[in-house]
Amino acid sequence: MQGKGGKQVKLKHIESFLSDLDNFEQGEFSKLKLEQHMTPANVAALCVSMVAEIEENLEDQIVGDFGCGTGMLSCGMLCVGAGQVIGLELDSKYAQITLDTLEDKFEDPSMYDIININVKHWQPPTLNGKLFDTVVMNPPFGTKDEGIDVVFLEKAFQTCSGNVYSMHKSSTRKFLQKKAEQCGYEFTVLQEIKFPLPKRFNKYHKKEVAYTEVDFILFKPKKMIPQIKQQQNEEKKVNIQE
């Protein structure tokens, strides 16, 4: 997978690998509320290559893709070498499309599972540990169903032991930064994206594409151990002073 010409080649390679994925179908007006917006192949390629650069031992990882839609990020993560992807999708039709796409693109079916589930209603059992090593997702932005973006983040924090990568409207940045702090995560905007809004609900199929500003964010869990160490050090200091 590693292109000889360096990063650029690799990025192009990922993008072309993802470029033939089908978009959501036109119409389907009843699904307006679901805020299904496909991550464009070039955006997905850029994002998954960033994840691949940050993550170690991606080949041993189980990656979650919550709200996997047409399977763009799932495919992308497998393309950059993730060991396994588990995709969660509310829309039965697109859950099946994602699985078909994965079967089409990856011979080994032990690399993925798709679950047809509403993330909002998903109550993950209290396992011994968190099953996911990393989550990479493009959740609903929360414009039609207020707060759903945060619900996705909370489920990710609940079930993932490592980094959570997620796309959110830039207008919510300050709010999410606060949320990350409350939940014990470091917050970094990895990439600002001009995200094309879907035209599938537009009756007239206007030619102009509308964009919205989106952040690709890394939520990195703060390590608890250094804090404990710090406390111990402070205790030692106290002892010395005594």
What is each CA distance from 165 to 4, 27, 91, 208, 224, in whole angstroms? 27, 30, 22, 30, 20
CA distance 99 to 104: 8
CA distance 86 to 98: 11
What are the two backbone dihedrals, phi and then psi, of residue 48, each rounded to the nearest 5 degrees? -70, -30
CB of 113 to other proteins, least distance (A): 4
CB of 63 to other proteins, least distance (A): 12
Which residues lie below 8 Å from residue 146, measured CB to CB, with a gap of 6+? none
**Of 42 and 116, which has the nearer Cβ to other proteins?**
116
**Of 108 and 208, which has the nearer Cβ to other proteins?**
108
**Of 132 and 185, which has the nearer Cβ to other proteins?**
132
CB of 189 to other proteins, least distance (A): 29
The residues of the shown chain that bind other proteins, judged by CB under 8 A, are 59-62, 83-84, 86, 90, 92, 95-96, 99, 108-110, 113-118, 121-131, 159, 161
CB of 62 to other proteins, least distance (A): 7
Q: Which two three-digit tokens encode residue 211?
A: 């964009």
**Of 40 and 140, which has the nearer Cβ to other proteins?**
140
